[in-house]
Amino acid sequence: MYDFKPAAADPAELYRGLLGAADALTAGEPDAVANMANVAALLWEFLPDLNWAGFYRVASTKDGGANELVLGPFVGRPACIRIPFGKGVCGAAAESRAAQLVADVHAFPGHIACDAASQSELVVPVLRGGEVIAVIDLDSPSPARFTEADADGITALATLLSDRI
Ligand code: SME
């Protein structure tokens, strides 16, 4: 049994705990789906006030065309399966290879509403060798839920996962 305790109110401490748990769960495990599934569960357990937490992976289109984002392991309501690069918050993160911290999703051009409850969003690309291989997506029902501390913490998580997913 795994019993990680998200105890801290201080973001730096919270993310130290989250990263330690993610490291412990994914170290030495080569299965990307298992690692993404466990990390989605950890995000859900550690971070308050979320309505969706999970991954989109970079993969080819259904007809074998150029890459797009394809839904990966997550916690939350069923979500859109395929997102082209450049579309919505996730596609913007994938295309720019930069974190997207969105205080009000309704003000974000092209935001894709998978769950009408979502008000704010943080999407961080996972890079390997400079190429984006996935994005980590967090949604909240509260406006402006995410801070720079969250972006830094999730970016550190993305770095940890670079060769584990
Ligand atoms: N809102 C995202 C789509 C993914 S769902 O939030 C899970 C976007 O605009 O890219």
Domain annotation for the chain: domains and CATH numbers: 11-161 (3.30.450.40)
Ligand 1 first shell, C-beta below 6 A: 52, 79-80, 83, 88-91, 111-112, 114, 118, 121, 137, 139
What pLDDT digit, counting tens, does each position of 18-68 carry? 999 999 999 999 999 999 999 999 999 999 999 999 999 999 999 999 999
Averaged over 140-158, what is the pLDDT? 98
54 CA: nearest ligand 1 atom: 7
Nearest Cα neighbor of 117 from 106, 133, 129, 108 is 106
The pLDDT of residue 23 is 98
pTM given for the model: 0.95
Give the Cβ contact number of residue 144 at 10 Å.
12
What the block records as the tokens of 12 is 């730096």
